Structure 1
Amino acid sequence: MALMITDECINCDVCEPECPNGAISPGEEIYVIDPNLCTECVGHYDEPQCQQVCPVDCIPLDPGHRETHDELMEKYRIITAA
């Protein structure tokens, strides 16, 4: 699954630079995650880095974008090959 940022986001700016795929960007009110670029850090790290640095724990799995570990790894390969 891709991750998502909930309304609890305080716009602290710590998640965006931690994303190795550039999937996090400022939205209209809070940061947003592009599900087409989010691999939950599969291929880069053992755990999603944005979740590790988020001080308010507002980055859960996005139930609207379910993906297996293999699908996330394939997405990682496509993203890093570009």
Structure 2
Amino acid sequence: MGTLTITKTRECADGTHMTLSVTGDFTGTINIYAPDVVAPFTEDEKEAFLKGVLRLARKGRTNAQLKSALTTGLTVTI
């Protein structure tokens, strides 16, 4: 199963803009506007998120194992 560590590395004075560092199964940085994080997901965002979660869940599994996990119900803890 995939693993990510997300760490805040910078924040503006009023706390609305942050830079996050991501390490683990992929690495990088992202700048976010904090109020966007609490906004509801759009349909496109839901699809992109689920595809990403499935790619992480595939880590260390065969396609058959992932399909089996999806059939019985794959639980993802964040």
Same-fold call, TM cutoff 0.5? no
Structure with more of its chain in helix, by fraction: 2
- Of structures 1 and 2, the one scoring higher in RCO (CA 8 A, sep 6+) is 1
TM-score of the pair, normalised by structure 1: 0.27
Q: Specify the structure having the higher radius of gyration (Cα).
A: 2
TM-score of the pair, normalised by structure 2: 0.28
